[in-house]
Amino acid sequence: MKDKLITEIQNEMASVLSQAQLKELGRVLMNSMHSLEITKVADEGQLEIDNQELMRVFLSAKRVEGCSEKSLKYYEMIIAKMIEQINRPIREITTDHLRFYLANYQKERNSSKVTIDNMRRIFSSFFGWLEDEDYILKSPVRRIHKIKTDKPIKETISDEGLELLRDTCDEIRDLAMIDLLASTGMRVGEFVGLNREDINFFERECVVLGKGGNERVVYFDARTKIHLLNYLETRTDDSPALFVTLARPFNRLMIGGVETRLREIGKKADLLKVHPHKFRRTLATRAIDKGMPIEQVQQLLGHVKIDTTMHYAMVNQTNVKNSHRKFIG
């Protein structure tokens, strides 16, 4: 880049300098620029095009890998904000640029450590992919280490709490909904996607479509089977959906509807923070607590990495105490 710049300057001065003077000019310029790093700065319009193109090919690659549209939109939002704020070509973004950006973001928005670490992971995925694909030499996120976050013990629903929720249900649909979530531990997105034909009552199992388009089998108990059959017998609509709204035109129940209904039932039962994900965490905790191998719990929940399963499950402290007395002292 330096040689090209010096040659361009010499060509511009060729009409007014002799050959010897041009040679001396080249020597002086080379010595002056020895310790300098020279890069070509694109005009603002070209910079935006280049950055958008790199982000586009990254998102396309993630889409091919099976990343959900919801995750892709979140990736795009987080990366686009960072690029806009730093306002440099992606290839020139350094570790310090990202550190300052994350620090300012946390300070200005009073964001939690979890939020900042999620952003760091997205940046790591983005720049790591650019490095793997040879768009950049080295990811600037390599030297930004995982941010230590507090790990509060997340609540589960007790046996008494589940019974209170069941007793509070005025609709057979809601009773079937609570039992299916509690006995399978499926994600709410998987729950609302279920159709009647997905249920095998004889085997007490159903097939759900999980993250990345992966299908898996989940299982439910006898009580859930009875409540599901009772609910379906009351249905007068011809919707293929397993769960529908209570009022006409009996549309498929969506995620927001499930969350709202559970919150209402929880409030009536005098229980705090009742939401679909809490049933999932409760199942994982109970399964591990009763001795189910962690690999089987992982399969049940549809986790790719076993570390994720461990984050979901909270081992009962009383059992830890009893095991200590049994095995150690």
Kindly give, in sequence order, each residue whose CB lies less than 8 Å from that of residue 38, ignoring residues fewer than 6 positions away.
1, 2, 5
* C-alpha span between 63 and 171 (Å, rounded): 40
Topology of the domain covering 159-323: hpI Integrase; Chain A (1.10.443)
- Contact present, 38 and 14 (Cβ < 8 Å): no
> With respect to CATH, is domain 44-132 assigned 1.10.287?
no
Kindly give, in sequence order, each residue whose CB lies less than 8 Å from that of residue 181, ignoring residues fewer than 6 positions away.
188, 191, 276, 279, 280
Per-residue pLDDT of the chain (329 residues; tens, 9 = 90+): 667 677 778 767 777 778 788 788 888 888 887 777 766 554 545 555 588 889 999 999 988 887 888 889 999 999 999 999 999 899 889 999 999 999 999 999 999 898 999 999 999 999 999 999 888 888 999 999 988 876 666 788 999 999 999 999 999 999 999 999 999 999 999 999 999 999 999 999 999 998 877 899 999 999 999 999 999 999 999 999 999 999 999 999 999 999 999 999 999 999 989 999 999 999 988 888 888 888 999 999 998 888 888 876 665 566 666 666 777 76
- The single residue listed with the structure tokens 């089977």 is 225
Q: Is pTM, for the whole model, over 0.85? A: no
